[in-house]
């Protein structure tokens, strides 16, 4: 079983080895995945605001359509 000192030493060696390497395709894939996840999380946070904007827009569109329909009929109801 590894002792705490051994784990710390292995972690330090791993960090040194990683610092010596240049960026490879795996690193680029990891950065792309992290960026996608961050974007998805941010979108989830603004989703409620987008729902409210959509609701207001649809209500406004409906009111304008009703107004135009009422105006085109001359304010009278169809019989």
pLDDT digits (tens, 9 = 90+) for 42-65: 777 788 888 999 999 999 999 999
DSSP conformation letters of 15-39: HHHHHHSPP-HHHHHHHHHHHHHHH
Which has the higher per-residue pLDDT, 65 or 5? 65
Q: Which of 73, 10, 68 is nearest to 60 (CA)?
A: 68
Does residue 24 register a pLDDT over 70? yes
Q: What does the domain layout of the chain look like in residue ranges?
A: 4-32+46-72
DSSP conformation letters of 44-71: HHHHHHHHHHHHHHHHHHHHHHHHHHHH
Q: CA 45, CA 36: separation in Å to the nearest integer?
A: 14
Q: What is the pTM of this model?
A: 0.44
Quick one: CA torsion of 28, 29, 31, 37, rounded to 10 degrees? Answer: 160
């Amino acid at each position: 079983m590894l002792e705490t000192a051994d784990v710390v030493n292995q972690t330090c060696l791993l960090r040194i080895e990683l610092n010596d390497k240049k960026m490879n395709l795996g690193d680029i894939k990891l950065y792309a995945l992290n960026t996608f996840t961050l974007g998805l999380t941010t979108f989830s946070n603004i989703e409620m605001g987008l729902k409210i904007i959509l609701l207001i827009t649809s209500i406004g569109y409906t009111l304008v359509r009703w107004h135009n329909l009422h105006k085109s009929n001359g304010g009278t109801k169809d019989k």
